[in-house]
Structure 1
Amino acid sequence: MDKFLDGLMSALASLFEGNMGWAILLLALTVRLALLPLTLHLSRKMLVNQRKIRDLQPQVDAIRERLKHDPQAMFAAVSKLYRQNGAHVIDRSSILGAFVQLPVFGLLYKTVSNASAAGGSFLWMRNLASFDAVLTAVVLVLTGIAAYYLPSGSNAPSTVMVAVQIAITAIFLWKMSAGLGLYWVASSGVSIVQNVVLRREQKRVPRSSVSDR
């Protein structure tokens, strides 16, 4: 797989007279878009599960209050309530799907890192192997936008979550090569599209109906 990505990177670079900047952007976009149907599917499942858990919360609170002196019975009752309504505290399918994608992203990251080491200029960047503050700022803005549109069970964007996402990204990007920064640009751009689609879908979905048993 890594040899395939290296070959594809070289082929893309040859289309732009050896410019690795465009090759990195195109390869990162191609891989992220290819995985977009899977990530959308997993995200939809996760949101449905979050919605069910949110709507069941009043019943869960009532069970906890009623059985607060019997933790074992309380756990059994809450578990039964979740099973009856198809809710899961741990969404195994989403976790498995995320792990399936990790090797792909790891190989893509390695390929981009190797291509960046060759250096070369791109747009305003003099050397793709060096850190670029302007590109980092662009990535942080895109990360903030993606985090803002990230859907959740509450249907409301969290300012704290946006700030945390930006801070974590800034730590990872500190002194990172511009080539890898371009990878983050492509990835964040696709994440924005994904989150906007999910948030629009979320607004059209009525509150899920749960059992009152």
Structure 2
Amino acid sequence: MWTMFVNGIVALLGHLAAGLDGSYGLAVIALALAVRLALLPMTLHAAEQGWLRQRRLATLKPQLERLREHHAKNPAAHAAAMQSLYREHGITSGLGSGLLTALVQAPMSAGIYAAIRQGMTSMGSFLWIPKLARPDLWLALSVAMLGMAAMLLNPMLPEQARTLLHWLPVAISFFMVWHVAAGLGLYWLGSGSVTVLQNLLLRQRVRRLPA
């Protein structure tokens, strides 16, 4: 089943490349954009729910602090009191929509990665990249810049929370793309551009919500 899925994506990439003047680079980016845009309503909804949960938790911070002090010597009672407060204010665990999104994205991304790796020998060049089967420094920098833009546009990350720890995913994405084939890096590039779009849309949505 998995082999058939991957082979189907390989065939799809071939058809896309044939329709894009033989460019596998454009085919990979087009596939990344198509997949992420198809999932955008789901991922945007999950992100909005996460932002709402974060805002509700922020309003409950004084009450949560009082509960922590009141039940300092009884962790079980503290946990029960927190859950009761969450239920009272309609705050869920936040795993539902996020988990569903991950379950949909994970096999799709894994299949596309496998398909790109399988077809890399026939991918050739793209723009400044001489061989899509080899890593490319400038592509890695481009992916990292997109990740930085997505992080800065994310309304769930307040200014005061933008510590070195939050920059770590940007650095990790740079080193990962720098050490994998450029064909895979192009998928990250296309996917990252939709993440930037998602965070822009999320910022617009949260601005319209009542304070």
| Residue type of the alignment partner of 1:148 | L
State how far apart, in whole Å, the 1-side matches of 2:67 and 2:180 are: 50
Report if the CA contact (8 A) 1:9-1:24 is conserved: yes
Which residues of structure 1 form unaligned runs of 5+? 208-213
Kept in 2, the 8 Å contact 1:144–1:162? The answer is: no
Q: 1:69 to 1:124 in 2, by over 3 A?
A: closer
Corresponding position of 1:171: 175
TM-score by length of 1: 0.87
What letter matches 1:27 in structure 2?
A: L
| Amino acid aligned to 1:26 | A
More deviation, 63-72/175-184: 63-72
User: 43, 48, 55: which one pairs with 2:59?
Assistant: 55
* Separation of aligned partners in 2, 1:154 and 1:27: 32
AA partner of residue 16 (structure 1): L
Residue number in structure 2 paired with 1:8: 12
Residue identity matched to 2:122: A
1:151 matched to 2:169 = no
Contact 1:149–1:157, Cα closer than 8 Å, also in 2:
no
1:103 equivalent to 2:107? Answer yes
Is this contact kept in 2: 1:46–1:91, CA < 8 A? no
Q: Distance in 1 between matches of 2:195 and 2:34?
A: 13
CA distance in 1, matches of 2:172, 2:158: 23
Q: Determine if contact 2:9/2:115 at 8 Å carries over to the other structure.
A: yes
Q: What is the alpha-carbon distance in structure 1 between the residues aligned to residue 17 and residue 74 of structure 2?
A: 65
Q: Report if the CA contact (8 A) 1:115-1:179 is conserved.
A: no
Amino acid at match of 2:185: G
In the alignment, the residues of structure 1 paired with residue 201 and residue 164 of structure 2 have an alpha-carbon distance, to the nearest angstrom, of 22
Structure with the larger helix share: 2
What residue is the counterpart of 2:69 in the other structure? 65
Residue matched to 1:210 = none
Tell me, in whole angstroms, the C-alpha distance in 1 between the residues paired with 2:69 and 2:210.
29
TM-aligned CA distance change 1:153 to 1:140, over 3 Å:
closer
Alpha carbons 1:50, 1:153 under 8 Å: kept: no
CA deviations on 1:91-111 (whole Å, 9 max, x unpaired) are 233223312321111111212
Whether 1:127 aligns to 2:131 is yes
Of 170, 187, 206, 1:202 maps to 206
Count of paired positions: 207
| Residue in 2 that maps onto 1:211 | none
TM-score, scaled relative to structure 2: 0.88
User: Does structure 1 residue 34 correspond to structure 2 residue 34?
Assistant: no
Query: Contact 2:50–2:94 (CA<8 Å) still a contact in 1?
Result: no
2:92 & 2:157 partners in 1: Cα distance?
14
**Aligned-pair Cα RMSD in Å:** 2.0
Aligned pairs for 1:186-197 (under 5 A) are 186-197=190-201
In the TM superposition, residue 90 of structure 1 has moved relative to its aligned partner by 5.0
Identity of aligned residues (%): 35
